Amino acid sequence: MNQLRVGMIGYKFMGKAHSNAYRSLPMFFPNALKPEMKAICGRNASAVQEAADQLGWNESITDWRELIQREDIDLIDINAPSDAHKEIAIAAAKAGKHIFCEKPLALTLADAREMLQAAEDAGVRHMVGFNYRFSPAVRLAKKLVDSGRLGQIYHFRAWFLQDWIMDPQFPLVWRLQKEVAGSGSHGDLGAHLIDLAHYLVGDMQEVIGMSETFIKERPIASEMTGLSAKGSGDGPKGKVTVDDATLFLTRFENGALGSFEATRFAAGHRSTNAFEINGSLGSVKFDFERMNELEVYFTSDEEDVQGFRRVLATDPVHDYMEAWWPPGHTIGFEHTFIHEVLELSQAIAEGRQPVPSFEDGVKCQAVLEAVDKSIEERRWVSLSEM
Amino acid sequence: MNQLRVGMIGYKFMGKAHSNAYRSLPMFFPNALKPEMKAICGRNASAVQEAADQLGWNESITDWRELIQREDIDLIDINAPSDAHKEIAIAAAKAGKHIFCEKPLALTLADAREMLQAAEDAGVRHMVGFNYRFSPAVRLAKKLVDSGRLGQIYHFRAWFLQDWIMDPQFPLVWRLQKEVAGSGSHGDLGAHLIDLAHYLVGDMQEVIGMSETFIKERPIASEMTGLSAKGSGDGPKGKVTVDDATLFLTRFENGALGSFEATRFAAGHRSTNAFEINGSLGSVKFDFERMNELEVYFTSDEEDVQGFRRVLATDPVHDYMEAWWPPGHTIGFEHTFIHEVLELSQAIAEGRQPVPSFEDGVKCQAVLEAVDKSIEERRWVSLSEM
Amino acid sequence: MNQLRVGMIGYKFMGKAHSNAYRSLPMFFPNALKPEMKAICGRNASAVQEAADQLGWNESITDWRELIQREDIDLIDINAPSDAHKEIAIAAAKAGKHIFCEKPLALTLADAREMLQAAEDAGVRHMVGFNYRFSPAVRLAKKLVDSGRLGQIYHFRAWFLQDWIMDPQFPLVWRLQKEVAGSGSHGDLGAHLIDLAHYLVGDMQEVIGMSETFIKERPIASEMTGLSAKGSGDGPKGKVTVDDATLFLTRFENGALGSFEATRFAAGHRSTNAFEINGSLGSVKFDFERMNELEVYFTSDEEDVQGFRRVLATDPVHDYMEAWWPPGHTIGFEHTFIHEVLELSQAIAEGRQPVPSFEDGVKCQAVLEAVDKSIEERRWVSLSEM
Amino acid sequence: MNQLRVGMIGYKFMGKAHSNAYRSLPMFFPNALKPEMKAICGRNASAVQEAADQLGWNESITDWRELIQREDIDLIDINAPSDAHKEIAIAAAKAGKHIFCEKPLALTLADAREMLQAAEDAGVRHMVGFNYRFSPAVRLAKKLVDSGRLGQIYHFRAWFLQDWIMDPQFPLVWRLQKEVAGSGSHGDLGAHLIDLAHYLVGDMQEVIGMSETFIKERPIASEMTGLSAKGSGDGPKGKVTVDDATLFLTRFENGALGSFEATRFAAGHRSTNAFEINGSLGSVKFDFERMNELEVYFTSDEEDVQGFRRVLATDPVHDYMEAWWPPGHTIGFEHTFIHEVLELSQAIAEGRQPVPSFEDGVKCQAVLEAVDKSIEERRWVSLSEM
């Protein structure tokens, strides 16, 4: 009973990150439940078998319905494209499996709520994949907020800036199709910022947004792999049905003001996932491209030496870091998933809900959808409407 | 006729910056019209005489009406509190004087328009004090935009973050009183961002904003000097009638998306006046706390060495810098005013309007007011409504 | 024959990093020889068995002589304390095993040369653990130098700054004892800088150095684990017999000037392993605390936008990165070991020497010892003397 | 008697910086003696008259001997090329004038000592132009050292990196001729670092250095202006007789270790004048390209938020800054000279020696020469030998 038997659906970018997390957990966090990588599931039999071999799964399987019925599996990990989340999650819950689902939880708020309801009805554990919460530097920010060391929060501003689809010849991958992805930069990148805001500042009262699709048609992709794809500039084009960029303003319930921007058209930003919090007693700044660092300012510092400190969150005092390397030896993107799986594994062992759970997924979805509504209706939308 | 005879109204923070600019111009830009600092005007006779002595004015005077009638003055420089701008500027125009007015041009858009009309009717030159346009690094950004080296502009985001009134005991100075200042962070800080947006990206189509006054009452100031003041925490309090922070979103006429934030409650930010522009071919980033630098990114750079360049805009190729020191030897805040006065002096010599003129002041005021309206009416406001 | 059967001696800090590398290689570099983690060796039977369990080794063993005689092992990995390297390596070579030895290769140059000779005589592959060569950003620097894009190299300056033993109560761990560690900051940190200099710039002609032990006595450690230890401030003290800091100057054979500093007394520097290269056509800067970045400057850039570029070496064009995550998603310290093991595995598969080999270890040792000699004799020491 | 009547010899780069300082002092530091800019002196009558007009001097003069004899002058400011310093300074002292001399004080230590002796014999005030001491951020570093907040100093490392003569076609200006300039990067750039080391850490015990002239011949300059010059690539070439780069190591009398590098061949560094100090209780970092900032680290900070603080030394608490602009509004290179002249003016008014005086100039010269000797004789040279 000190094992966690996992079946995973999906094997691209996120599938690899999750597999690595399961595989690494026992080496660095030996006291956690040990994940047993039972089976990986995908539609293409040869591709999923190849993934099983490379990623270290005991076996591969092509029918997810079969997977969730297996007796020898405790946890279903869902990182298939977003449009598949709902059906699988509900079925898995009904089969009594714990669920770890990538974000965004679902294509719509209604779907997300159904998923949460199903999980609660079934009494299973449920987690949604907001991995950035698990950066040690973000945990430090959380600790500073929660302990009151930043005082009353006045401002939260956040950006998730990328540039990978700026070339108009970049093809129409599934992430650019509304019916599969739900939304574009908003649900893919903005969702992370929204979750961080919930985590660090609290609930939102109302929102108003703005979005744009800068490149309206793109070559149809002939083949897709992970985030990239191959297409021909001369071939047929299809309509991009998601946003390239979405911005919104928010008022938090605690009175703080928030500003959010998610875009895939910020030249030079490979993946700037950044936020800043200003409180009455101090501020913090974070940028995932320098994920081991948190900049911290305190108004109480002596007046001649006040300034943002560049804290390298790699000391043993920082969450998770005692398990890794000596101070100053940094970790990377994939480590957020290892820490995420640690939380999942600890929660299951302790018989409690992991955090973030489907509730957090629902809450994020509510904001995503409120922003969409505010864009469509060109007005402030209260979260209470959702 | 190679002189520019100046009379100045106001002698605090901005009065000092302008005086230094007039005084420094001939040493660094000897080909420009030479400012003759004829008279400085303020209500307090002894204080203004002291200012005259320190700042290098030939004489002091207490009645601005007298000043603007003097035959030996070509230019009236207005840097008194904002509520005095309109009356003085219109009278100066009628007296046939050129006018250099600090920002914000007026308390309302209607006032600003009257001022512009008066100046145009009188055929005088008029300039508004958006000094940040005159940072060499900002000029470089402008050059990159105008020459097409950044391509089509997708995003403009800007922040003006300060923290000087975060202490609830900081007194109720004139900048916190709507009837004198017009607005708070919005008109003081946001106005600069708006002007930079107009300068660098172009006109706006519509806006929607949000604002807050975090500290609603403050000790009444017993004495004010420049930006600071003395007050007693035990004394009577008065109501703060301006915004502590204002944020807004905008859609530019060229399709770019804009995000703006002005606040005086960002702990650790003494004066972060920063923007970023993302275009289809590149990006630039600027922060006035490091005003000699512009970060520049080009999508056309070789693929293995793409990255934001930290350009130190101190080479002879950069605007104004040949007049200063060797490359790598930086300039500071006050230099923006020297360059501003250079433009004013050159425009007068060449018989053309300086830039930015009252037209730019009006345009800025229109955005400020549209944002205010959007906040009051909780809806998007088109600039065409203004 | 597509497997690499490994036996490892040592199981602390480096043992963990190596284990993780063997374990991770097949997932991210599936075409490489697959390491089979056969046995791990240490003197303390229960501790090494615990390590075996946690780090994923098939079995544990306490006698390294037994280990190197096993038929089912191809490669001996030596990461025991430095004073054990020589004997093990020579015995392993005689037993016909390939050898991967942590740095510094030996306590003395003579020992290092014996080890190299033994490996060459036995015809086995040999590698020394200069892992920083395997940072993608360092590889980019190498590529820029080798391709001539930086021109003729004029300067190399490097620092390895740490602060973990600044507290005078920090105990006398083995790394502070000359007879076990060989030297202090010089051999531990400086060795990495010397190897990077050899890799990036070339051979040195002569050196002169200076060193200091700031804290001359420390509490004797009652128990040691990895880099840290427990000791009592009240207990007996012992003499620190290694350097706390060593600096030296060098002239490279190609005419470049070099400056090196290694210290464990740089407050605030957890592990700043940084260098800069200046050439006639450009410069690069690297700091391991931001290991995903390389700053790059080219004299050929257009004159108005010259500046150091912050290149995030996470694009597919950068060495190793296609195997990892999308651009902008960073890697950490441990990845250098995975790439190092990739080189080892590829070299063995291809029947060639891996790089860096024992030859590089010897070359590094020669510089370390030349610097020591220059300190002792207070004069420039030529590498040809060594 | 509240005036300081100045006669200045030299009117290029430094002449402009000094003129601006004299001219600006009364506006920003009204309590200081007011400099009266009596006469400026140079050999070319029309050029020096043009300088007088532009820089604001009452008159121009071509014979410095005449200048120093004038009754209406209190202070002689020497910023002519270095080979002229000695003769003028000694004559000025004999004429009873206070002396402000640019660095390096002289071409040789013997000359510098003669100058100091002459000034002391005459009982005049004497100052040497180490302007970087007068950056507010450097003053903050000094304050932190002197107050013990950094503890015992272990390390000082400094670089002055420029790139303005990297082009082999750059002509043979006077700064590249030993008989006029004394030395190259060593005396021009290194001298500043040495003075900062004396100011911040204390006296040196012994040094050893290394230098190089990378480009050994250059086109003879047909015309020189300030730092730059015109020459023809096809014309005759002359020998460069000074160092392009000089590095040295030092041991301070207080036991700290020092490392210095001055070069004009660091591509991308327009003027990186930077140092770092590591003490037992904290560290500071400074780079003149960001001269308003000091990075500060304290070991006593709470363990979860330790990191270098970016202190913007623009608050009223920072030296000189109350006289300038509000917090966050930066100053530039030229301000160091204004603060320097403030010290000079205050010292004269108070009847004390200004700091740095010729004694500091002598001390710097001793180190410069000891380093030269160490290079020539290839050995450590003790300062006591000098």
**pLDDT, tens digit, for every residue of A93-102?**
999 999 999 9
Please tell me the least confidently modeled range out of A57-66, A300-309, D174-183. Answer: D174-183
- The residue of chain B with its CA nearest to that of D50 is B30
Contacts of B268 in chain A (CB under 8 A): 278, 282-283, 297, 299, 306-308
Structural domain includes residue D225 = yes
For chain B, what is the domain count? 2
pTM: 0.96
Q: How far is D309 from chain A (nearest CA, A)?
A: 4
Contacts of D333 in chain B (CB under 8 A): 325, 329-331
Query: Both A122 and A143 in a single domain?
Result: no
Query: Both C189 and C317 in a single domain?
Result: yes
Token pair recorded at residue D43: 């050999």
What mean pLDDT do residues A310-336 have? 97
Q: What is the pLDDT of residues C148-190, one digit of tens each?
A: 999 999 999 999 999 999 999 999 988 899 988 888 999 999 9
Query: What's the pLDDT band for B235 if we cut at 50, 70, 90?
Result: confident
Domain that holds residue D116: 3-132
Tokens 């919930």 correspond to: A198
Spatial CA neighbour of A159 closest among B215, B254, B285 = B285
Query: What's the pLDDT band for A227 if we cut at 50, 70, 90?
Result: low
User: Which residues make Cβ contacts (< 8 Å) with residue B120, sequence separation at least 6?
Assistant: none
Spatial CA neighbour of A69 closest among A43, A48, A91 = A91
Three-state SS at A205 = strand
Query: Both B140 and B125 in a single domain?
Result: no
Q: How far is A21 from chain C (nearest CA, A)?
A: 11
Query: Both D127 and D138 in a single domain?
Result: no
The answer on pLDDT for B231 being more than 60 is no
Tokens 């260098």 correspond to: C275
Query: What's the pLDDT band for A232 if we cut at 50, 70, 90?
Result: low
Three-state SS at A217 = strand
Q: What CATH number corresponds to the domain at position B373? A: 3.30.360.10
Contacts of B321 in chain C (CB under 8 A): none
What mean pLDDT do residues A25-37 have? 96
The answer on pLDDT for B45 being more than 80 is yes
Contacts of B301 in chain C (CB under 8 A): 309
Return the residue in A167, A333, A336 with the most chain C beta carbons within 10 A, the one to mutate for interface testing: A333
Structural domain includes residue D20 = yes
Structural domain includes residue D386 = no
Q: How far apart are the first and last CA of chain B?
A: 41
Name the amino acid, one letter, at A262.
A
Query: What does the pLDDT read at residue D18?
Result: 98
Query: Is it true that the peptide bond before D35 is cis, omega within 30 degrees of 0?
Result: no
Query: Both B169 and B305 in a single domain?
Result: yes
What mean pLDDT do residues B46-70 have? 97
Query: Is it true that the peptide bond before B236 is cis, omega within 30 degrees of 0?
Result: no
> Taking CB atoms and an 8 Å cut-off, how many pairs form between chains A and D?
57
Asked whether the beta carbons of residue D155 and residue C282 sit closer than 8 angstroms, the reply is no
pLDDT mean across residues, chain C: 95
Query: Both C164 and C18 in a single domain?
Result: no
Query: Both C188 and C293 in a single domain?
Result: yes
Query: What does the pLDDT read at residue B230?
Result: 55
Spatial CA neighbour of A34 closest among A357, A341, A355 = A341
Cβ–Cβ < 8 Å for A153, A145: yes
Asked whether the beta carbons of residue B311 and residue C307 sit closer than 8 angstroms, the reply is yes
Burial of A376 (0-12, 13-18, 19+ CB in 10 A): exposed
The answer on pLDDT for C116 being more than 90 is yes
In degrees and rounded to multiples of 5, residue A281 shows phi and psi of -115, -5
What mean pLDDT do residues D46-59 have? 97
Q: What is the pLDDT of residues B128-139, one digit of tens each?
A: 999 999 999 999
- The residue of chain C with its CA nearest to that of D212 is C257
Query: Both B145 and B288 in a single domain?
Result: yes
Q: How far is D36 from chain C (nearest CA, A)?
A: 39
Pick from B130, B160, B184: which residue ends a domain?
Answer: B130
Spatial CA neighbour of B179 closest among B85, B263, B107 = B107
Asked whether the beta carbons of residue A265 and residue B155 sit closer than 8 angstroms, the reply is yes
Burial of B270 (0-12, 13-18, 19+ CB in 10 A): buried
Pick from C84, C106, C132: which residue ends a domain?
Answer: C132
Query: What does the pLDDT read at residue B226?
Result: 53
Query: Both B116 and B83 in a single domain?
Result: yes
**Among candidates A20, A289, A324 on the partner chain, residue whose Cβ is nearest the Cβ of C330:** A289
Q: What is the pLDDT of residues B320-333, one digit of tens each?
A: 999 999 999 999 99
Pick from C91, C109, C132: which residue ends a domain?
Answer: C132
Q: What's chain D's Rg over C-alpha atoms?
A: 21
Q: What is the pLDDT of residues C242-281, one digit of tens each?
A: 999 999 999 999 999 999 999 999 999 999 999 999 999 9
Structural domain includes residue A386 = no
Contacts of C212 in chain D (CB under 8 A): 255, 257
In degrees and rounded to multiples of 5, residue C299 shows phi and psi of -70, -20
Q: Where are the beta strands (DSSP E) in C226-335?
A: 228-231, 237-239, 245-252, 257-263, 272-279, 282-287, 293-298, 307-312
Query: What's the pLDDT band for B232 if we cut at 50, 70, 90?
Result: low
Query: What does the pLDDT read at residue A130?
Result: 98
Dihedral angle, C-alpha C167, C168, C170, C171, nearest 10 °: 170
CB atoms within 10 A of CB D385: 12
Query: Both B92 and B159 in a single domain?
Result: no
Query: Both A78 and A193 in a single domain?
Result: no
Three-state SS at C312 = strand
Structural domain includes residue D344 = yes
Return the residue in D295, D305, D315 with the most chain A beta carbons within 10 A, the one to mutate for interface testing: D305
pLDDT mean across residues, chain D: 95
Query: What does the pLDDT read at residue B180?
Result: 86
Q: How far is B105 from chain C (nearest CA, A)?
A: 33
Structural domain includes residue C252 = yes
Q: Give the C-side interface with A, CB within 8 Å.
A: 13, 16-17, 19-20, 23-24, 26-27, 30, 53-56, 162, 164, 226-227, 269-272, 288-292, 312, 314-315, 324-335
% pLDDT > 70, chain C: 97
Contacts of A161 in chain B (CB under 8 A): 278
Return the residue in C227, C325, C336, C337 with the most chain A beta carbons within 10 A, the one to mutate for interface testing: C325
Chains touching C, CB cut-off 8 Å, 3+ pairs: A, B, D
Query: What does the pLDDT read at residue B164?
Result: 95
Token pair recorded at residue B373: 């309206």
The answer on pLDDT for A230 being more than 60 is no
% pLDDT > 90, chain C: 92
Query: What does the pLDDT read at residue B195?
Result: 98
Q: What is the pLDDT of residues C290-333, one digit of tens each?
A: 999 999 999 999 999 999 999 999 999 999 999 999 999 999 99
Neighbouring-strand partners of residue A308: D310
Query: What does the pLDDT read at residue B225?
Result: 54
Angstrom distance (rounded) from CA C24 to CA A58: 16
Structural domain includes residue C386 = no
The answer on pLDDT for C226 being more than 60 is no
Asked whether the beta carbons of residue A304 and residue D312 sit closer than 8 angstroms, the reply is no
Angstrom distance (rounded) from CA D374 to CA D371: 5
How large is the ipTM?
0.95
Query: What's the pLDDT band for C2 if we cut at 50, 70, 90?
Result: confident
Query: What does the pLDDT read at residue C171?
Result: 93
CB atoms within 10 A of CB B133: 22
Chains touching D, CB cut-off 8 Å, 3+ pairs: A, B, C
Return the residue in C153, C157, C185, C286 with the most chain D beta carbons within 10 A, the one to mutate for interface testing: C157
Q: What CATH number corresponds to the domain at position C117? A: 3.40.50.720
Three-state SS at A10 = coil
Dihedral angle, C-alpha C65, C70, C75, C79, nearest 10 °: -30
- The residue of chain D with its CA nearest to that of C161 is D278
Angstrom distance (rounded) from CA C302 to CA B364: 34
What mean pLDDT do residues B85-107 have? 97
Tokens 């605690």 correspond to: A254
Token pair recorded at residue C318: 């950068």
User: Does an H or E element contain B87, and which?
Assistant: helix B85-94
Angstrom distance (rounded) from CA C94 to CA B274: 65
Query: What does the pLDDT read at residue A22?
Result: 98
Structural domain includes residue C320 = yes
Q: What is the pLDDT of residues A187-225, one digit of tens each?
A: 999 999 999 999 999 999 999 999 999 999 999 977 655
% pLDDT > 90, chain A: 92
Query: Both C205 and C227 in a single domain?
Result: yes
Angstrom distance (rounded) from CA B158 to CA B136: 18
What mean pLDDT do residues C70-94 have? 96
% pLDDT > 90, chain D: 92
Query: What does the pLDDT read at residue A221?
Result: 79
